[in-house]
């Protein structure tokens, strides 16, 4: 983890009519870190993630991603990020290789480079035997791992993961996080939203959102100390849902 | 450009791996041409008739053989009495019964006047109408022939009717333009709207929008294959109707293809508009089928002539694109007219296309904000 900021957010506001989904968010994310974005459903984390990945425009505030201002250089931002959403992001009627070729092509990689990368990627996942298989025939865990590999195929500065492990079995989740660590050690910043609190423990830093605001932001250890809790789960219950306590 | 082509290739893979899509693309056009060509007819051929002729003289026999020798009728039965008429209709083989007056020939020569009663099966009004008018025409013909050597006293007007562009009033001249119009709307609007809605429903649209591909490229990449395939379909339909039904393109083929391209573009922009308005594939399909297919078939003038509709339907009809395209196809294909006579319809289609594109891009932008 370095001191170089890859995401800078100042006073980000996003309104839908009179509803304020993001209320004056300000935070930084540093190169190579795994940044967890926590919050209950409807807390506004997906809205913020969509803004950072260029899918939606903020109502006001300054946001720069990978060194580019998202208002003026949205196209440049998109070249330097990877994105994987809640729903499955590969095409089910295309084969493994076809999916990789497609996304590699969309990000402007040369055919040769894609082929080299495909071989390497499939070997490291132990998927070489499945190259020509249709995605729809593969088990969910396998698909998610593949989707993540495809999202970082073009070596982005940052990869945005929106609840990537939803519906995946614990073993695959474990393997998925190993992939995230690997990506992070390769210098890719990982920005991940999740509602699995055990996953929050794996992050370098986490921010907790509640009702459109960031109510806490620190390392898991720092948070636990500050709120004298045994786990991030307890911290979350204390601060994100004060009414339920 | 390379990114774009890769994306188009992927769209083709979607189409060719899905059997249902292929059936809609190539099965339905061929089936429609054959169904409308063979099964749906508004002209008659070999309609069964029965005769009740008690005199069986020279004139009545000649008249019957004249009816028979036309392609329109086949003599199924010679009835002996009035009582058989009802049962003969009920048996279902005949569309009409011709009843000659008693002593038909004798009376005609003696008094100069004899009657024939034509009883048609009114349960099929269209057929009944056609049968009676064909029969009358044949009887009139015969009268004129007989009268030629010595015209009767007084004057006689002999109207000669010609059906321009379609001398035998064959219904297939009508259905080819209709089928082209329906197929192109089906493929362009329905298939594109479903294809785009599918990306939304599966979540892949998000990933595409987060990629460096521009939204315009995504949309163009989605519609390009359908543009190419519907053009191929158009060629297949024109070729089939020429080969199987002998219907030529009388006007300029280039003009017809250009007009069709405009209409295809309109269909695609309509499809894009539907997809921006719907969240799921089912919704897109529902809007396309209910909002497009039914009006196209009923209101476009394909089956029911627009001129005879109540005013409210005429208004509705004028805002649906197929209504105008069907006129263009009919004019260029059947009448052989040139652009000077269809520019108004062309302009209307162009205007509609622009409206659809504007609405789609507006809804699309709003969604991003």
CB-count burial class (<10 Å; 0-12, 13-18, 19+) for B351: exposed
Where do the CATH 3.40.1710.10 domains begin and end in chain B? Answer: 47-147
For residue A171, being part of any structural domain is answered with yes
Per-residue pLDDT of chain B (369 residues; tens, 9 = 90+): 777 888 888 889 888 888 888 888 888 888 887 777 676 666 677 888 899 888 888 888 888 888 888 888 888 888 888 888 888 888 878 888 989 888 888 888 888 788 889 898 888 877 888 888 888 888 888 887 777 666 555 566 667 777 787 776 666 777 788 888 888 887 788 888 888 888 888 888 888 888 888 888 888 888 899 999 989 988 988 888 888 877 888 888 999 999 999 999 999 999 989 988 888 888 888 888 888 878 888 888 877 778 878 888 888 888 888 889 988 998 898 888 888 888 999 999 999 999 998 888 888 776 655
In this predicted structure, what is the pLDDT of residue A245? 42
Kindly state whether residue A40 falls inside one of the protein's structural domains: yes
Find the CB nearest A106 among B6, B14, B203: B6
Element (H, E) at B109: helix B104-111
What is the CATH code of the structural domain delimited by B47-147? 3.40.1710.10
CATH number of the domain enclosing A168: 3.40.50.300
Q: Which residues contact B196 (CB under 8 A, 6 or more apart)?
A: B205, B219, B222, B271, B272, B275, B276, B284
Which residues of B are less than 8 Å from A107 in CB distance? 211-212
Residues of A in contact with B213 (CB under 8 A): 106
**How far B225 CA sits from the closest chain A CA (Å)?**
16
H helices of B112-214, in order, are 125-147, 172-185, 192-202, 204-209
Task: Quote the number of domains for chain A.
Answer: 1
* Cβ-based contacts of A105 with chain B (< 8 Å): 2-3, 6-7
Q: Is residue A17 part of a domain?
A: no
Residue A13 is assigned to a structural domain of this protein:
no
Nearest CB partner across the interface for A78, out of B2, B206, B212? B212
ipTM above 0.90, yes or no: no
Q: Name the residue of chain A whose CA is nearest to B11's CA.
A: A94
Q: Which residue range forms the structural domain that includes residue A219?
A: 33-54+74-244
Cα angle: A187, vertex A106, A150; to 5 degrees: 45
- Residues written for chain A: 245
- What is the DSSP pairing of strand A68-69 with strand B73-79? unpaired
């Amino acid at each position: 983890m370095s001191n170089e900021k890859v995401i800078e957010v100042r006073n980000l506001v996003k309104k839908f009519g009179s509803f304020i989904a993001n209320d004056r968010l300000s935070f930084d994310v540093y190169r190579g870190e795994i940044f967890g974005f926590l919050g209950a459903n409807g807390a506004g984390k997906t809205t913020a993630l969509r803004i950072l990945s260029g899918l939606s425009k903020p109502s006001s505030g300054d946001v720069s991603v990978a060194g580019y201002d998202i208002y003026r250089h949205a196209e440049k931002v998109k070249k330097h990020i990877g994105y994987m959403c809640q729903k499955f992001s590969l095409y089910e009627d295309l084969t493994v290789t076809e999916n990789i070729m497609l996304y590699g092509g969309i990000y402007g990689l040369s055919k040769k480079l894609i082929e080299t990368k495909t071989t390497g990627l499939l070997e490291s996942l132990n998927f070489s035997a499945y190259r020509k298989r249709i995605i729809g025939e593969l088990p969910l865990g396998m698909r998610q791992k593949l989707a993540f590999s495809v999202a970082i195929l073009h070596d982005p500065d940052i990869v945005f993961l929106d609840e990537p492990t939803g519906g995946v079995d614990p073993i695959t989740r474990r393997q998925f996080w190993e992939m995230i660590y690997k990506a992070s050690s390769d210098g890719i910043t990982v920005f991940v939203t999740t509602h699995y609190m055990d996953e929050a423990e794996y992050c370098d830093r986490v921010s907790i959102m509640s009702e459109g605001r960031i109510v806490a932001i620190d390392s898991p250890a720092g948070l636990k100390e500050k709120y004298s809790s045994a786990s991030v789960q307890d911290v979350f219950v204390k601060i994100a849902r004060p009414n339920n306590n | 450009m390379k990114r774009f082509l890769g994306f188009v290739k992927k769209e083709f893979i979607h189409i060719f791996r899905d059997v249902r899509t292929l059936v809609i693309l190539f099965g339905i056009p061929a089936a429609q041409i054959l169904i409308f060509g063979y099964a749906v007819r508004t002209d008659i051929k070999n309609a069964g008739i029965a005769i009740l002729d008690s005199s069986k003289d020279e004139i009545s026999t000649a008249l019957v053989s004249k009816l028979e020798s036309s392609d329109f009728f086949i003599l199924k039965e010679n009835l002996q009495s009035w009582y058989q008429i009802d049962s003969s209709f009920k048996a279902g083989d005949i569309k009409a019964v011709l009843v000659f007056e008693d002593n038909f020939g004798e009376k005609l020569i003696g008094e100069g006047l004899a009657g024939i009663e034509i009883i048609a099966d009114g349960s099929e009004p269209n057929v009944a109408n056609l049968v009676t008018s064909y029969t009358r025409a044949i009887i009139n013909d015969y009268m004129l022939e007989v009268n030629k050597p010595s015209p009767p006293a007084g004057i006689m007007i002999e109207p000669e009717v010609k059906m321009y562009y379609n001398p035998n009033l064959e219904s297939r001249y009508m259905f080819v333009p209709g089928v082209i119009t329906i197929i192109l709307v089906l493929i362009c609007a329905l298939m594109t709207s479903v294809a785009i809605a599918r990306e939304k429903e599966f979540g892949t649209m998000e990933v595409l929008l987060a990629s460096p591909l521009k939204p315009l490229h995504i949309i163009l990449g989605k519609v390009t294959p359908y543009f190419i395939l519907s053009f191929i379909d158009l060629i297949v339909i024109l070729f089939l109707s020429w080969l199987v039904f002998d219907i030529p393109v009388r006007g300029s083929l280039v003009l017809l293809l250009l007009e069709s391209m405009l209409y295809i573009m309109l269909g695609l922009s309509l499809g894009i508009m539907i997809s921006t308005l719907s969240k799921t594939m089912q919704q897109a399909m529902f809007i396309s089928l209910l909002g497009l297919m039914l009006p196209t078939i009923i209101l476009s003038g394909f089956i029911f002539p627009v001129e005879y509709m109540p005013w409210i339907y005429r208004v509705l009809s004028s805002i649906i694109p197929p209504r105008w395209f069907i006129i263009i196809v009919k004019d260029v294909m059947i009448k052989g007219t040139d652009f000077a006579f269809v520019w108004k319809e062309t302009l209307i289609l162009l205007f509609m296309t622009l409206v659809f594109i504007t609405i789609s891009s507006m809804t699309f932008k709003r969604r991003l904000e």
